């Protein structure tokens, strides 16, 4: 009888050791942990700067009305220590409508986002509406899932109701219905600008020329211009007749300092042959998309 009990106990231990996979809602797990159902993690919301990120936290929601900081706990790779939590994940969502949440690693540790630019940093800014997934790494800090670029704002302007007569003379003319004013909320934001328009030219037979475009940037009293690698040619076959033309321009700007910018499209008549009686821009439209991550 004793021999049978010992044999049974030995067989049980062997079975537990060999069958090291755990299944929930399945008798045949195919992974170390196989869950056939939903997973519920701890949910916690906060509204101000905090130093607390608990071991039982899972999903954290920031809902503050002012810019705040979430200070991440220091962690190590010393086995058996309380700070050895390599592989632990936190989901952090910025549900604020206008405030940023800065994720800050402990002194001497980093947050790794990967890639060639700004791969390692002690802090990462989480814009409103964005989600970050943090995984505790080695002793140097944390890995962060890539934060995708998201659309922060879209501004459109135009078309105007009054046609504009573009003068000659070799000077750029600012289209009055083209300006778009955008807000850059944080460093590193990207602005995608798009302008379109059309008009008519009246002149002598076989007159022709080119429309060249430039971008004017204004922030406060400071102005900057960007030459655009695009031009539109036109050709008028008949004397006193009109010919239609259109134009478009796209331009991307990155690494602007936070602030409010106005962008306008400027147009230049150049390389004209023949006599031009009138040069009209009938309509122009501007659009600015601001992307953050």
Tell me what pLDDT residue 159 has.
Answer: 78
Question: What's the pTM?
Answer: 0.64
Cα(147)–Cα(115) distance, integer angstroms: 12
Which tens digits make up the pLDDT trace of 70-109? Answer: 999 988 777 777 778 889 999 999 999 888 899 999 998 9
- Total structural domains within the chain: 2
Tokens of residue 276, six digits: 């031009």
Cα(89)–Cα(132) distance, integer angstroms: 10
**Would residue 2 count as lying in a domain?**
no
Can you give the CATH number for the domain in which 260 is found? 2.60.120.760
Within this chain, do residues 128 and 200 fall inside the same structural domain, yes or no? no
Within this chain, do residues 91 and 172 fall inside the same structural domain, yes or no? no
Which tens digits make up the pLDDT trace of 230-273? Answer: 788 999 998 888 899 999 999 999 888 889 999 999 999 999 99
**Would residue 12 count as lying in a domain?**
no
Which tens digits make up the pLDDT trace of 267-282? Answer: 999 999 999 999 999 9
Within this chain, do residues 187 and 239 fall inside the same structural domain, yes or no? yes
Please choose, from the candidates 89, 70, 69, 80, the residue with its C-alpha nearest in 3D space to the C-alpha of residue 142: 89
Q: Which domain holds residue 136?
A: 22-147
Encode burial over 81-94: b for 16+ CB neighbours within 10 A, e otherwise: eeeeeeebebbbbb
| Among candidate residues 147, 179, 203, the one where a domain is terminated | 147
């Amino acid at each position: 009888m004793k021999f049978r009990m010992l044999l049974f106990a030995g067989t049980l231990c062997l079975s537990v050791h060999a069958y090291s996979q755990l299944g929930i809602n399945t008798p045949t797990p195919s992974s170390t942990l196989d869950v056939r159902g939903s997973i519920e993690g701890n949910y916690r919301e906060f509204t101000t700067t905090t130093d607390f990120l608990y071991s039982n936290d899972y999903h954290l929601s920031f809902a503050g009305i002012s810019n705040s900081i979430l200070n991440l706990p220091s962690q190590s790779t010393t086995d058996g220590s309380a700070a050895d939590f390599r592989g632990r994940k936190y989901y952090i969502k910025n549900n604020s409508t206008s405030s940023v949440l800065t994720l800050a690693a402990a002194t001497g540790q980093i947050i790794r986002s990967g890639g060639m630019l700004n791969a390692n940093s002690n802090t990462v800014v989480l814009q409103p509406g964005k989600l970050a997934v943090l995984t505790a790494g080695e002793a140097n800090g944390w890995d962060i899932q890539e934060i995708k670029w998201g659309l922060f704002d879209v501004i459109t302007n135009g078309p105007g109701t009054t046609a504009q007569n573009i003068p000659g003379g070799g000077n750029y003319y600012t289209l009055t219905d083209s300006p778009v004013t955008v807000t850059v909320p944080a460093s590193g934001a990207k602005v995608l600008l798009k302008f379109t328009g059309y008009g008519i030219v009246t002149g002598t037979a076989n007159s022709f020329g080119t429309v060249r475009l430039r971008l004017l940037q204004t922030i406060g009293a400071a102005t900057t211009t960007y030459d655009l690698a695009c031009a539109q040619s036109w050709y008028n076959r008949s004397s006193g007749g009109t010919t239609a033309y259109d134009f478009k321009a796209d331009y991307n700007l990155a690494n602007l300092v936070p602030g409010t910018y106005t962008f306008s499209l400027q147009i230049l008549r150049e390389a004209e042959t023949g006599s031009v009686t009138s040069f009209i821009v009938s309509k122009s439209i501007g659009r600015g998309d601001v992307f953050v991550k």
